Amino acid sequence: MNLAREIRYKPYKEWKQTDIAQIKENMATSPWHAHFHIEPQTGLLNDPNGFSYFNGQYHLFYQNWPYGPAHGLKQWVHLVSDDLVHFKETGIKLLPDHTHDSHGAYSGSAYAFNDKLFLFYTGNVRDQEWVRHPLQVGAWMDKEGHIEKCKQVLIPKPRDVTEHFRDPQLFNYQGQLYALVGAQDLQEKGKIKLYKAPHKNPEKWVFLADLDFEHPASEYMIECPNLVFIDKKPVLIYCPQGLSKDQLAYDNIYPNVYQVFQSFDPEKGKLIGSSPIQNLDYGFEAYATQAFNTPKGDSLAVSWIGLPDIPYPTDHFDYQGALSLVKKLTVKDKQLYQYPVESLKNLRGQAEAFKTRTKSSNSYELELVVSGKEKADIILFANNQHKGFQISIDSQAGLLTIDRGASGIQYASQYETKRTCQIPNESVTLNIYVDQSIVEIFVNKGQKVLTSRFFPQNGESGIDLVSGQVSGYYYEMRY
């Protein structure tokens, strides 16, 4: 939604309780609220931030402007979880209340040090002329949730980048602390800057290198870089805005991509032995994915189900955005697999045989096997004209296509209404999670992932098997 700058950047103190109450009232009338995905309490949700393990629990924040469905003065909103499926908002927020984050507490990461969680983020500062001064700043959160911001700027803007310098990710590699920061260089190309904290003190950083990740930069900016290690293989996940479509085919306004490497040489600032760059997700919207290695060494990720610069049908109800299910990352044959954490199975109700239904709760999982012999078409959110969100599998051609153009509220249509990805020329399994207006599809247990919104009208909730040999189960989700 286009709102005037004065509204979007109005200090939080100047809003009234009644403003929030009114937004909540309008939000409550939306027919599209998710049941087992994270949505904002109010306003706009974008990137996942500070995904970490601390004090016996998982911690996760989301970027938020609480006063409407627009990108305004951002804060971080805190959630905790024991099982990575049920998340609870704690009421704790990282507020834009300091001279170093006066125009927004932008995205970043978190890392536990003894009895405190360190939050490493971008302070978005604008001057009188509205010129942006991006600062990498920090804060300590104790076990009670009290947040104390670091007094000094931790990484000032280097001379060789523009105002686009943000989203620090702190990670540990072989006992050393490093950080990646996304940037745009003076030639307006995307860069990732690599830093090291030589004394294991996350308040003291030295520049190591512009990361060499065997990637010819065609994009104009890299947002949200993350490096995780999966069976010792480095996996780089990032958002290259303006990436050339000669380098990678994609249809969303901005892609979210990954590369798998053989090794990491931090002192030389190099990731070595890259697999080809690939889309992390083939659906209509998944962005700003944040991943981290847990203390046990697992790798977990969560994505924003949304995209920058796109109006959404929920704007009408004063909110926008959701977070994906938490996905566990693994690597097989240089390919990344992303699959919901095991504990999600606890939400499954009784297994029922998969069949056509004229109505459903729009809150279910389908676990299907699609025979490799012929084409299959499945329609979710189907209406009585058999129109809805269509999933088409053509195993001979090795293609899976989704199409949301036939019904539901149409939006972002300038980016087309279909998405396609390659699949093996054989039978495939599909795990499909439907949650009111969210569809997450996992092909072959996470070999390909397609994350999307679909906004049904008038209670459209059928499931149609239009053609093909498809067998499997329907599970009502209990939440």
Please give the residue ranges that form the binding site for ligand FRU (CB under 6 A): 46-47, 63, 74, 106-107, 122, 166-167, 223-224, 288, 308
CB of 12 to ligand FRU, least distance (A): 16
Q: Which residues of 229-268 are buried (b: 16+ CB within 10 A; e: fewer)?
A: bbeebbbbbbbbbbbeeebeebebbbbbbbbbbeebebee
CB of 126 to ligand FRU, least distance (A): 13
CB of 55 to ligand FRU, least distance (A): 26
Structure-block tokens of residue 452:
């999307």
The helix (run of H) or strand (run of E) holding residue 314 is none
Strands 206-210 and 190-197: antiparallel
Q: Report residue 199 CA to chain centroid gap.
A: 32
Give Cβ neighbours of residue 320 (< 8 Å, ≥ 6 apart).
1, 40, 43, 44, 45, 69, 306, 312, 314
Cβ proximity to ligand FRU: between 64 and 436 the closer is: 64
Cβ proximity to ligand FRU: between 70 and 423 the closer is: 70
Q: How far apart are CA 9 and CA 1, in angstroms?
A: 14
Cβ proximity to ligand FRU: between 195 and 442 the closer is: 195
CB of 344 to ligand FRU, least distance (A): 25
Q: How far apart are CA 39 and CA 144, in angstroms?
A: 24
CB of 379 to ligand FRU, least distance (A): 31
Cβ proximity to ligand FRU: between 115 and 163 the closer is: 163
Do 134 and 125 meet the contact criterion of CB atoms below 8 Å apart?
Answer: yes
Q: How far apart are CA 437 and CA 30, in angstroms?
A: 11
Cβ proximity to ligand FRU: between 225 and 456 the closer is: 225
The backbone torsions φ and ψ at residue 255, rounded to the nearest 5 degrees and listed phi first, read -90, 160
Nearest residue to 132 via CA among 95, 114, 157: 157
Of the residues 19, 47, 101, 142, only one is catalytic, namely 47
CB of 421 to ligand FRU, least distance (A): 23
Q: How far apart are CA 354 and CA 471, in angstroms?
A: 6
Do 471 and 368 meet the contact criterion of CB atoms below 8 Å apart?
Answer: yes
Distance set, CA 261 to CA 235, 236, 240 (Å): 6, 8, 18
Cβ proximity to ligand FRU: between 76 and 317 the closer is: 76
What are the beta bridge partners of residue 301?
Answer: 291, 327
CB of 392 to ligand FRU, least distance (A): 30
Q: How far apart are CA 372 and CA 406, in angstroms?
A: 26
403 is annotated as an active-site residue: no
CB of 44 to ligand FRU, least distance (A): 9
Cβ proximity to ligand FRU: between 121 and 354 the closer is: 121
The helix (run of H) or strand (run of E) holding residue 267 is none
The helix (run of H) or strand (run of E) holding residue 20 is helix 17-27
Cβ proximity to ligand FRU: between 54 and 76 the closer is: 76
Distance set, CA 150 to CA 102, 136, 186, 363 (Å): 14, 11, 29, 43
Active site members: 47
